[in-house]
């Protein structure tokens, strides 16, 4: 191990011999910081757009087909996630998520995909990423990539399906009146915080729409 006193001396000597001339002129530094700020602003706009119009709607569609699925609402900005709870038909706690990130200079947009399953029954594509230039962003490219990852996930998730009645005939509870009904016999359904709720009558559905919090309390993960 080198002597700390000797190391301190070398640092002091290096500083003493360093050029006192500034490496950045004031106008150069200002232009650079303004350029970085503009790239950051452009990235933030892209991140919001991709989250709201590309990733979140596709996760909502996928979650709508599974009674044990719910969208996570406490994810950091730029992140979208869906949980699939442990149940008799799908005996694993599973999460699929997307995060929109950037490189150090805000020159590139990185869309990261992560999936986890506990216990792990099958081979699962747990991680992937798509990198695109910020200045030439293609939403269509992101859409195709997100759909490919969700399609791969769905293929894997269905391999742990133990079977049973079709989801359309699965019994659900009207959150307003408490009646047990089949999904196919419900007069309609409304999503609330990423979870679909089914109703035995239009009256129950209207009451729920006016104030969902009066009938359900959703726990976030």
Residues 129 and 55 in one domain: yes
Domain presence at residue 72:
yes
Rounded Cα–Cα distance for residues 36 and 39 (Å): 5
Handedness of CA 38, 42, 45, 48 (dihedral sign): negative
Number of domains in the chain: 2
Rounded Cα–Cα distance for residues 134 and 103 (Å): 10
Domain presence at residue 188:
yes
Domain presence at residue 21:
no
pLDDT tens figures, 83-126: 998 887 888 889 999 999 999 889 999 999 999 999 887 888 99
Assign 162 a pLDDT band (cuts: 50, 70, 90): confident
Domain presence at residue 7:
no
Residues 205 and 113 in one domain: no
Q: What percent of the chain has pLDDT over 70?
A: 89
Domain presence at residue 19:
no
Domain presence at residue 107:
yes
Boundaries of domain holding 187: 167-214
200 within 8 A of 174, measured Cβ to Cβ: yes
pLDDT tens figures, 25-76: 778 888 888 888 898 999 999 999 999 999 999 999 998 888 888 888 777 8
Question: DSSP readout, 35-52?
Answer: HHHHHHHHHHHHHHHIII
């Amino acid at each position: 191990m080198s002597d700390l006193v000797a190391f301190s001396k070398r640092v002091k000597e290096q500083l003493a011999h360093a050029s006192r001339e500034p490496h950045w002129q004031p106008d150069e530094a200002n232009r650079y910081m303004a350029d970085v700020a503009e790239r950051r602003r452009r990235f933030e706009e892209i991140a919001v757009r991709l989250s709201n119009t590309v990733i979140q709607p596709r996760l909502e569609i996928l979650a709508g087909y599974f009674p044990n699925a719910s969208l996570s609402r406490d994810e950091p900005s730029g992140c979208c996630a869906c949980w699939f709870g442990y149940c008799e038909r799908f005996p694993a706690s599973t999460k699929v998520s997307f995060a929109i990130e950037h490189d150090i200079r805000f020159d590139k947009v990185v869309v990261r995909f992560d999936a986890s399953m506990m216990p792990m029954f099958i081979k699962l594509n747990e991680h992937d990423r798509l990198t695109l230039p910020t200045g030439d962003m293609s939403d269509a490219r992101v859409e195709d990539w997100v759909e490919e990852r969700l399609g791969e996930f769905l293929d894997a998730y269905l391999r742990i399906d133990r079977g049973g009645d079709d989801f359309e005939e699965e019994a659900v509870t009207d959150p307003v009146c408490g009646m047990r009904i089949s999904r196919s016999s419900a007069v309609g359904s409304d999503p609330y915080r990423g979870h679909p709720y089914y109703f035995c009558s239009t009256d129950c559905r209207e009451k729920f729409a006016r104030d969902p919090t009066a009938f359900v309390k959703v726990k976030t993960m």
